[in-house]
Structure 1
């Protein structure tokens, strides 16, 4: 190193000090004088005046390269996609002059740190100047998050700065850190960060470095300001989870107990931490079949107990770190979201659940999403990971008073009921003669400006609506349970959800019988008769129709008594009991004419037309179908209109008029597709195929039958078998 002049740095020895240390003395003057404190062996040279710098050459010291990555996890499942993303980022390296930053976020226990450490070990050779690691403890159960100043201090010491020379302030440490790693190829892993503010002082300025950050929170600020790339880590797929379990249990045990393995994966919802805890229990008890562990996981309320590893690694403990970091308002919403039993929730539904404005609720949902406690899987729709839902429900049971829990559930049920009721009244109010009395509430349902949006809401919320019926029934909200089911009658029928229709109406029937509401009981019995008619279970049609009619007659309700006669007529026609069908239809139409209801008269004429078709009195059938079509069109009953058009197609086909039949079937199909009547669409497609086959167009017939077959298969409808036979015969 140079001594003197500009070669001396701060803290360096002076030239005189260094020479004196070597045992010599130099003095200036006319003569040159040299004294040595020790005898000099060998030859010596008198240099006279020394000009310039003197260099002392020492043997180079061995450079310490920091290698701070923790040990990689043994049971790592290859996250190929995410690793490829990181490797691609690294491939971009320094060409644009910006430091490379990637954030990995996700729910607690999803394996963020495991992925980051595993990938960093793989890439270690690409960073010859070392790797730095710090656990920032953003969500530690017992300690506060690591201060950025302290993290920088540990980095500086790792980079060779003596402890006593580490600056005290944050800015000074950050500046020295950036200086020391400048132009060095280093990997810096900032694990378990809480905020972007905690991370930002730890970022180098040199584009030769790569920074990898893991956090439960979504650090959007780093993406926006520092240009970080973001990886959101999801749970394992079923196949990935199986590979993980095999790494614990061995391939043979996984193969032998494969069904139990799949159940285990399902109950752990693909969360690596949960799978690891369950697998560790299986390893500790190799003689116990996996089905024993599975049985302990089946009840959602006890699942967290079965996955409690104790200490800070159990699921409850890990989830609690994120929960405790929330604002009080967001924590309350988190708890309340654990109460509903549907698969997800909309912004408006969450607002009514919490009893807050949409604006307030949107901000709280954003906080939960930011903390990876909730996933916005579609715009405006949110859902929990299954195990987080169980934890949220536990928090609600512990931290929310029972009356507050009941009030929240009631508000949510009011949201679903009032919106569904508005839709039902708009779409089929002309055929509803029973006035539904809604439970009192301050909640206002959603009003839509188009029928497409109404049907879309029913479709989107269907799973939540049926879950709400069950929850209302279990928790004693009987009026909500039966009323919500009743408002879904038309949607059940449109979509052909026969099993759900029957199950929910039977639950509703229990509720109204507990309430002692005989009028509502009659409506549900009639709805069940129609559902069983659609399901071709005609003995049950007779049973439920008879019970409904008896109650209608007791209430002197001629309109619905007529309707029960007419569904009986339809059922009798299907069973080829045409004389019975005709008599019931005539009496039903007579009652509807007394009532003066156009929709009821349309239904009566339709049933008479079907009965006359069965008796092969085609002209009478045509006349009644024509009357029914006129009446239905007058009141805007498009469902009934499509039914009559399809029956007219059947009539013209029976009269050997396939061209006219095709016109009727196509018009019926157009209407049914327009209103989303899936089962009716399948029926019209099937009948179109029959008409085209009769007209000699076998290719088009097969095309329509194949479409019909697909629809009936999706619905689980027995009509699929008859369509398959027609495909085989044509």
Structure 2
């Protein structure tokens, strides 16, 4: 083959010169011949073509078997899935000419090197010609990454090449390395690689070798070009983490302090490095309970201090290695992503947080993911490992000026507020007269073209939205805090998130009282009344609706004053105060007729129907329910429509018409399923079960009660107790 084809470039020694220099270590194999114009004796310099293989043997082959693996870690948890993947790769070795390569990547401190070394020790009998190891220091905090030329030099020395005969160029060393390991069964472990370019010259050319690469970066180029198999290492499961702690502390101590062990695992977020540091501290103080260690980890702000062992193996130091390798723009995004307190972030929200275009942000997020500093756990959504988020927040506090941090958080709040507000206005804007005035911003937020995608956004962002309400309140963005909570009124109700609804509205109430905004205060008081109605705490409904009504009346807001009267009427009916309920419903309907709002009038007729049902005046109740149904359908108020249909089901059952009741409940159930109103689904299942049972279909009645019970138990609804009693009667 041509000399250049062996990996020797201009300015390097030719392969023949290397052969001559190595003297008796080299002979030519069968079928190798030299094209030369004359007969040559002794050593020669090849100036033309070499055909066939060049074999290095004698001292190299017979005497030197490198065994360079580092000592295996004592406290290793059996990573069965990942070890099986590596063993399967080794078992799939064929003679098709391809070198077997596997890359192991993952977040800093997750145990990539520990896994690779442990597995390699288990498999060393599969490599009779030895193992080569090099720490490439791709992310070292105190040293530069190892040059490929230097790594090859260490390999060649291990393979018996004398230092005085060592070729100097990268390509010359690579060519000689490939020649020396040709046909050998060897493992090459390349630890802590930074890039594919650093690894590529170190790859043997023989399919009898296996190369194992560990890196914090995801070396996609090796997967694409060299066909490497990628193994992504995740944090330890709770069971694996407990086994690891037991290896440090002993089974008896772990078994005796199970609650503390669980807390320790949770605070360390399953990261082996963090668990090892925490366990080592517990070992140093065997007489102290583990709760002492746990107490140091309670506060997220102090957690890195408690888990920082110092030196190059300390948690901060280990996290700093990939962080320092980032471009300035990606490093800034990393810091800013440490500011939000929600569990994850979407691409559009991240772009607004950073004040960049989505295209720019996507590239920076890809860089963070490539460096294993961020996980894209589903398309377009990203999250931190908990301890990495604490590190990002710490870097933001150190490296970002306070005004810049506040501006970034403000942009993120604007993103969530404007998106949630646009969804709220689209879905239920017809049911509100109060117009929310948003804080001024250049952020537009996200827009969607159909209702399903709007609800999907609320579902996806729910935890982030509630986290942002609390963060806005704590950081003094009071207008954002209460406005964001207010935009989620319908979603809280739809999904039955009652505890979160009440908690966030109470927090928002505190914010508007600090702002002195009486109209906003009235809206939140009314929202709390509705939340307590859903929670079946009717005395609180009467209390909060009364406070809201006073403020609405002071502002001459007749529409909302009527709504507070009507929710108070509903709860009075549930409290068996039917005369009071009737009077309040009549006053509320009169106000809504004066306002001329069909949605408000529909609610008024519905409340009158409930009041007359309580008084057992079923004809009047039915008339008002039908009027409400017509008005709700007129404005497209499907939530209200399903509510009235359910009430009509109850009315027909009470009137001795179970077959008609079945029809009403089924229609209500259909609508509630379509809009995702879980609590309503449970109520319709229960009503349908009652109607079917009364109609003589006991089996189907019980089946519907069981469906209702499942939903109520899922939501933690007190109505579950009533359904259990009904099931007990079957």
Please name the residue that 1:388 is paired with. Answer: 388
Please name the residue that 1:76 is paired with. Answer: 76
Please name the residue that 2:135 is paired with. Answer: 135
How big is the shift at 1:589?
A: 0.3
Flag the 1:11–1:88 CA change in 2: closer, same or farther, 3 A.
Answer: closer
How big is the shift at 1:12?
A: 8.9
Please name the residue that 1:55 is paired with. Answer: none
Counterpart-to-counterpart distance in 2, 1:84 and 1:613: 67
How big is the shift at 1:11?
A: 5.5
Counterpart-to-counterpart distance in 2, 1:60 and 1:168: 20
**Could you say which structure has the larger radius of gyration?**
1
Counterpart-to-counterpart distance in 1, 2:361 and 2:60: 64
The gaps in structure 1 that reach 5 residues or longer are: 1-5, 15-57
SS of corresponding position for 2:589: helix
Please name the residue that 2:412 is paired with. Answer: 412
Alignment map for 1:238-317 (pairs within 5 Å):
238-317=238-317
Contact preservation (8 Å) 2:72, 2:121: yes
How big is the shift at 1:399?
A: 0.3
Please name the residue that 1:524 is paired with. Answer: 524
How big is the shift at 1:60?
A: 12
Residue 185 (1) aligns with residue 185 (2)? yes
Flag the 1:610–1:61 CA change in 2: closer, same or farther, 3 A.
Answer: closer
How big is the shift at 1:527?
A: 0.4
Counterpart-to-counterpart distance in 2, 1:252 and 1:589: 70
Q: Which moved more, 1:702-711 or 1:280-289?
A: 702-711
Q: What per-residue deviation string (whole Å, max 9, x for no partner) do you get for residues 552-594 of structure 1?
A: 1100111111111100110011111111111110111011111
Flag the 1:167–1:61 CA change in 2: closer, same or farther, 3 A.
Answer: closer
Q: What per-residue deviation string (whole Å, max 9, x for no partner) do you get for residues 343-388 of structure 1?
A: 0000000000000000000000000000000000000000000000
Contact preservation (8 Å) 2:22, 2:165: no
SS of corresponding position for 2:178: helix
Q: What per-residue deviation string (whole Å, max 9, x for no partner) do you get for residues 130-160 of structure 1?
A: 0000000000010000000000000000001
Alignment map for 1:502-517 (pairs within 5 Å):
502-517=502-517
How big is the shift at 1:66?
A: 0.1
SS of corresponding position for 1:192: strand
Alignment map for 1:124-273 (pairs within 5 Å):
124-273=124-273
Counterpart-to-counterpart distance in 1, 2:548 and 2:725: 37
Flag the 1:429–1:225 CA change in 2: closer, same or farther, 3 A.
Answer: same
Counterpart-to-counterpart distance in 2, 1:487 and 1:62: 77
How big is the shift at 1:61?
A: 9.9
Please name the residue that 1:666 is paired with. Answer: 666
SS of corresponding position for 1:78: coil
Alignment map for 1:251-650 (pairs within 5 Å):
251-650=251-650
Contact preservation (8 Å) 2:542, 2:572: no
Please name the residue that 2:29 is paired with. Answer: none
Q: What per-residue deviation string (whole Å, max 9, x for no partner) do you get for residues 57-113 of structure 1?
A: x99996121000000000000000000000000000124321000000000000000
Q: Which moved more, 1:653-662 or 1:348-357?
A: 653-662
Please name the residue that 2:654 is paired with. Answer: 654
Counterpart-to-counterpart distance in 1, 2:461 and 2:560: 30
Give the CA RMSD over aligned residues.
1.5
SS of corresponding position for 1:213: strand
Residue 726 (1) aligns with residue 717 (2)? no
Please name the residue that 2:20 is paired with. Answer: 10
Flag the 1:119–1:59 CA change in 2: closer, same or farther, 3 A.
Answer: closer
How big is the shift at 1:319?
A: 0.2
Q: What per-residue deviation string (whole Å, max 9, x for no partner) do you get for residues 451-494 of structure 1?
A: 01111100110000000000000000000000000000000000
Q: What per-residue deviation string (whole Å, max 9, x for no partner) do you get for residues 683-716 of structure 1?
A: 0011111111111112111211111111111111
Flag the 1:286–1:422 CA change in 2: closer, same or farther, 3 A.
Answer: same
SS of corresponding position for 2:102: strand
Flag the 1:290–1:59 CA change in 2: closer, same or farther, 3 A.
Answer: closer
SS of corresponding position for 2:107: coil
The gaps in structure 2 that reach 5 residues or longer are: 1-15, 25-57
Counterpart-to-counterpart distance in 2, 1:724 and 1:531: 24
SS of corresponding position for 1:161: coil
Please name the residue that 2:41 is paired with. Answer: none
Return the TM-score normalized by structure 1.
0.92
Please name the residue that 1:21 is paired with. Answer: none
Flag the 1:689–1:165 CA change in 2: closer, same or farther, 3 A.
Answer: same
Counterpart-to-counterpart distance in 2, 1:11 and 1:524: 88
Flag the 1:626–1:180 CA change in 2: closer, same or farther, 3 A.
Answer: same
Counterpart-to-counterpart distance in 1, 2:259 and 2:132: 43
Counterpart-to-counterpart distance in 1, 2:349 and 2:87: 41
Counterpart-to-counterpart distance in 1, 2:107 and 2:617: 68
Flag the 1:162–1:457 CA change in 2: closer, same or farther, 3 A.
Answer: same
How big is the shift at 1:327?
A: 0.1
How big is the shift at 1:308?
A: 0.8
Contact preservation (8 Å) 2:629, 2:644: yes
Counterpart-to-counterpart distance in 2, 1:382 and 1:550: 46
Flag the 1:13–1:614 CA change in 2: closer, same or farther, 3 A.
Answer: closer
Counterpart-to-counterpart distance in 1, 2:62 and 2:377: 53
Counterpart-to-counterpart distance in 1, 2:470 and 2:395: 22
Counterpart-to-counterpart distance in 2, 1:544 and 1:178: 80
Residue 681 (1) aligns with residue 678 (2)? no
Contact preservation (8 Å) 2:304, 2:316: yes
Counterpart-to-counterpart distance in 1, 2:60 and 2:594: 112
Q: What per-residue deviation string (whole Å, max 9, x for no partner) do you get for residues 194-241 of structure 1?
A: 000000000001000000000000000000000000000000000000
Counterpart-to-counterpart distance in 2, 1:13 and 1:396: 60
Q: What per-residue deviation string (whole Å, max 9, x for no partner) do you get for residues 493-523 of structure 1?
A: 0001000000000000000000000000000
Counterpart-to-counterpart distance in 2, 1:350 and 1:317: 26
How big is the shift at 1:720?
A: 1.1
Counterpart-to-counterpart distance in 2, 1:61 and 1:334: 50
Q: Which moved more, 1:652-661 or 1:385-394?
A: 652-661
Q: What per-residue deviation string (whole Å, max 9, x for no partner) do you get for residues 243-298 of structure 1?
A: 00000000000000110000000000000000000000000011111101101101
Counterpart-to-counterpart distance in 2, 1:392 and 1:617: 65
**Number of residue pairs matched?**
681
How big is the shift at 1:13?
A: 8.7
Counterpart-to-counterpart distance in 2, 1:60 and 1:383: 50
Counterpart-to-counterpart distance in 1, 2:22 and 2:493: 90
Counterpart-to-counterpart distance in 1, 2:188 and 2:549: 77
